[in-house]
Structure 1
Amino acid sequence: MKLSKQLNLPAISMSGFETPLSEEEGAIQQSAHAFARDVLRPLGRELDGMTAEQVVAPGSPYYSVFTEAAKLGLDSDLLAQLPPDMAVRVESMVGEEMGWGDAGLAVSLTVTAFPGEMAKTVGNQELIDLCAGKIGCWMITHPDKGSDVGAFDLKREWPQGQPGNKGNMFAKVGADEIVINGQCSAWVSNGAVAQVALAYMTADYGDGFIGADGRPNGVAMIVPLDLPGVSKGKPLEKIGQRSLPQGEVYFDNVRIPKRFAIALQDEYYGNVASAWSFAGTHMGQMFTGVARAAFEMALEYCNQRKQGGQLLMDHQLTRYRIGDMLRRVELCRAVARRSLAYARLTPQGHPWATASGKVTVTEEAMKVVSEALQLFGGNGLTREYPIEKLFRDARAALIEDGDSYMLTTRLGFLAQQMYEDGWTKN
């Protein structure tokens, strides 16, 4: 127990009730916060007022975010130099600051690194060089194959006698090259602007697209998007995260060298699960930042706005509501960090384990943002106040990277599988 001789306010930081940061951690957090405050937040508001086609047009201010982000040097190479536990906390704080600045741009910056990070993970220098300096995307969902990409156990998750979902984007894998046809989903983040993709799709290795167990065969690869036969659709007009360009990419007999594959037939589903295990953790960090931004806006407003003859903050019910919001922000941060630590440090993760954290954080963030908007009253419904943008941005997260109901259902299925394997029986 630590004893104080006088009553003090608690130690507090940008990221709430934080244990003391090292000098290096504090400097990184300050740099990330300054970038979020001075670059992401004003740029996100500017892009929010533009059409989707204006956002992706040549000369758009959107593209400046990549140049500015590169100056920070806050990437996986930095994290690799830190002790594992410290790296998790730093990655969490940086992700939170990015989400605090602008959710759409935070997602865009995270996804743009996916192809290059996968190339580093598999140790393919040719692919590392191919991805360097390019805007990336992660293509895994198709127009008719959204949450079906996560149907791993067809015996219990799929109608009996029915083959798995082939989807709309598929490849034929030959001895030396891969030929791609079809299209990815319009919801692919950065799809409208990406120059290179980390792509997952159904594949035919010479004996058909569907395996003996009914599950589609697959291939994962790095795909340059400047090849003959590649084209793009119009970017989506959305209610929220309008600073994140999303759209289809079409493939018409696009040929790439087989050496660009990073997971062939037998390794495909393991690679899918591994990639997805990390993807959801980023959503947790970013939307912790969104929840925190909403809380801070509400706290400031309630200390300025008067009703009933006094500041809103002086009303007992307002204090309860602010306290409940702060509690939920702390919950988001704790869950997001635990989820990231599990994904980074456990010897064997799983996408549905990570997904539970993503669902919890985005659901709680939505409650915080909604309550913040309610505290603003009618003002919260106007574009004059930024809280309405946060409301639109947060709402998308309940579907983005996996619908909350579907992910929670699959978490229940995972619990069933683990129980059958002996979990909780002792």
Structure 2
Amino acid sequence: MSTQSVPELELPKTTEYRNLDAPIYSWAATPKGPLTSSGAEAALPEHIADFQQTLRNFALNVVRPIGIKLDRMTPEEAIAKDSPFWEFRRKYLELGVTVEALGEMEPQEAALLFSILFEELGYGDAGLAISVGAGILPQWLCAKFGRKDLLEEFPDAMLGCWGITEPDHGSDMLDPSGQIVYPGSSYGRPNLVADLTGDDIILNGQKSAWVSNGIIAEVCIIYCAADSGNGPSVSEGCALVFPMNLPGISRGKPLDKLGQRALNQGEIFFDNVRIPRKYLLAGPEDYQRAVYCIHAEANALMGATFTGLSQAAADLALDYAHERVAGGVPIIKHQSVRSRLFHMFRKVELSRAVTRRGLNFNNDPQLATPSLCAAMFSKTTGTQHSFEVTSDALQIFGGNGLTKEYPLEKMLRDARASLIEDGCNEMLAIKGGSYLIDNEKLA
């Protein structure tokens, strides 16, 4: 039997070893390389590193204290005119992070800043971070679809909401392609339908109580079934961006819930609401692309936010482990505590890496279509790890972690909600697995 020779691999050669100025014998006798604010990641560009520090200070001094106050209020108090929520909103806008500013940056640099922004907001309070994320989705998608006219009409200062989930169709609405529908069944009649047969679009029905910012938003991006004359179809729906003061729009009560209580959520009702055609962002022919696009953006946002929450919980637990004495010593001296902390920080590192890598990949200008799978990796990894890390952090705090004197019980509640929102993780895994099918291999 003959064999083929393998050509010699030529590696690029450098004239100088890049760490020659820091040889190994200059290390401490017991080496210990620290992690940074971005974990085990190379140094950030100076302007982004500076902005990250600004965001960390904002998270600690503004976001977290306000989030704790809102968590202890009733849902009605949390959105009242004198609520600290509006102080948070005003101070966030003063940071100057706008859709326009991100759009003017190099795409992959903008992706890094996007990830850092929501990591740091999540470090302060996950509910307020999601409020910011939902709040910019109308403008973000207008930018993605090149609708400068709508961006001018709805500037970033207008608080947005994203209406997609419905009372009878939660995660179903994220699946217009039918990848998770049970074989032989259908999703049934939608709860909100847009009639596209006339000059104006007519909306009738409702979105469920889980619309983030739903009770207080000024502008909405709606994803719903459309009727072009042959009856309503979820697979051929439409996406609309419009002001929330149109006649026929009403809202329910703010939702009272377990976690993310700083995040306002509530029902929106539509009674023969007339929507001018200029507010149509995506018609039936573009609907599946529109769902795919916003789903990829929102899942990445979730991954970043709950990476930040995980980092906050791990940092608090590490500090507490140095302070709390049990068994006659600070508990960090106990092997089981050190082991638990190690795995907490490992999960934070994995979540951050998956999120930033996915965002970097999906914002590569040479990529024809972003990968929803990559965004789903980010969401499911970040949220699952967040729940595990906050639970472990509470365990390190012991009984104190169960009290409202410490932030851990709130963080655990906030993390638990993340396993369901923006598509429950079980559904995302099924849908993500469907994207891995190679039909050519099944032929």
TM-score (norm 1): 0.93
Would the aligned equivalents of 1:173 and 1:258 in 2 still touch at CA under 8 Å?
Answer: no
1:402 aligns with 2:423: yes
Cα 1:217/1:375, change in 2 over 3 Å: same
TM-superposed deviation, 1:341: 1.9
Does 1:149 find its partner at 2:168?
Answer: no
User: What letter is aligned with 1:304?
Assistant: E
Task: Work out the CA distance in 2 between the residues paired with 1:284 and 1:14.
Answer: 17
Match of 1:127 in 2: 150
Shift of 1:194: 0.9
Flag structure 2 segments of 5+ consecutive residues without an equivalent: 1-16
Q: CA deviation at 1:187?
A: 0.5
1:312 aligns with 2:336: no
Q: What is the deviation of 1:157?
A: 3.3
Report the secondary structure of 2:94's partner residue. helix
Deviation at 1:421, TM superposition (A): 3.8
Aligned to 1:10: 33
The answer to whether the Cα contact below 8 Å between 1:148 and 1:165 also exists between their aligned partners in 2 is no
Answer yes or no: is 1:45 the counterpart of 2:68. Answer: yes
Once the two structures are superposed, what CA deviation does each residue of 1:211-269 show, in whole Å capped at 9, x if it has no partner?
A: xxxx6421111121111111100011111100000000000000010111011111111
Residues 131-151 of structure 1: CA distance to partner in whole angstroms, max 9, x if unpaired? 222110011111011111133
The 10-residue stretch of structure 1 (219-228 or 80-89) with the greater mean CA deviation from structure 2: 80-89
- In the TM superposition, residue 155 of structure 1 has moved relative to its aligned partner by 8.3
Structure 1 pair 166–342 and aligned structure 2 pair: CA distance change class (3 A) = farther
- Match for residue 8 of structure 2? none
- Corresponding residue of 1:196: 219
User: Residue 133 of structure 2 corresponds to which residue in structure 1?
Assistant: 110
Partner of 1:376: 397
Q: How far apart are the structure 2 equivalents of 1:219 and 1:246?
A: 22
Quote the Cα distance in structure 2 between the aligned partners of 1:155 and 1:81: 36
For these two proteins, the number of residue pairs brought into alignment is 417
Contact 2:195 2:201 in 1 (8 A): yes
Q: Secondary structure at the match of 2:363?
A: helix
1:184 aligns with 2:203: no
Letter in 2 for 1:149: M
Does residue 246 of structure 1 match 2:269? no
CA distance in structure 2 between the aligned counterparts of 1:331 and 1:409, rounded to whole angstroms: 22
1:134 touches 1:196 (CA, 8 Å); kept in 2? yes
State TM-score, norm by structure 2: 0.90
The SS at the match of 1:59 is coil
> Structure 1 residue 124: deviation in Å?
2.7
Deviations 1:309-336 (A, max 9, x none): 1100111221111111111111111111
Residues 24-423 of structure 1 correspond to what in structure 2 (within 5 A)?
24-132=47-155, 133-154=157-178, 157-160=181-184, 162-210=185-233, 216-345=235-364, 346-415=367-436, 417=437, 419-422=438-441
How far apart are the structure 1 equivalents of 2:330 and 2:186? 62
Cα displacement (A) at 1:297:
0.7
Distance in 1 between the 2:115 and 2:177 partners?
32
User: Counterpart of 1:389 in structure 2: which amino acid?
Assistant: K
Distance in 2 separating the partners of 1:242 and 1:6: 48
Q: Give the 3-state SS of the residue equivalent to 1:142 in structure 2.
A: coil
Tell me how far apart the structure 2 counterparts of residues 140 and 343 of structure 1 sit (CA, whole Å).
23
Post-superposition offset of 1:271: 1.1
> Displacement of 1:402 after TM fit?
1.0
1:356–1:244 distance in 2 versus 1, CA, 3 Å: same
How many angstroms apart in 2 are the aligned matches of 1:339 and 1:198?
Answer: 24
1:81-117 deviations in Å (ceiling 9; x for gaps): 4333333222222211010010000000111111112
Runs of 4+ in structure 1 deviating by more than 4 angstroms, as ranges, are none
Greater displacement, 275-284 / 336-345: 336-345
Residue pair 2:180, 2:431 contacting (<8 A) in 1 also: no
* Pair 378,309 (structure 1): closer, same or farther in 2 beyond 3 Å: same
CA contact (8 A) 1:175 1:258 kept: no
Q: Which moved more, 1:217-226 or 1:282-291?
A: 217-226
Larger radius of gyration: 2
Contact 2:174–2:423 under 8 Å retained in 1? no
Structure 1 position 175, deviation (Å): 4.1
Q: Name the CA distance, whole Å, in 1 between partners of 2:180 and 2:323.
A: 56
Answer whether contact 1:295 1:325 (CA < 8 A) is retained. yes
The question of whether the paired residues in 2 share the 8 Å contact of 1:166 and 1:202 is answered with: no
Structure 1: gaps (5+ residues): none
**Rounded Cα–Cα distance in structure 2 between residues aligned with 1:264 and 1:225:** 20
Q: 1:421 to 1:191 in 2, by over 3 A?
A: farther
Tell me, yes or no, if the aligned pair for 1:198 and 1:223 is still in contact at 8 Å: yes
3-state secondary structure, aligned to 2:238: strand
Determine if contact 2:300/2:355 at 8 Å carries over to the other structure: yes
C-alpha contact 1:284 1:357 (8 A) present in aligned 2? yes
In 2, are the aligned partners of 1:298 and 1:372 still within 8 Å (CA)? yes
**Cα distance in structure 2, aligned partners of 1:310 and 1:155:** 54
Query: Percent identity at matched positions?
Result: 39
For 1:227 and 1:110, how far apart are their aligned partners in 2? 23
1:22 pairs with 2:42: no
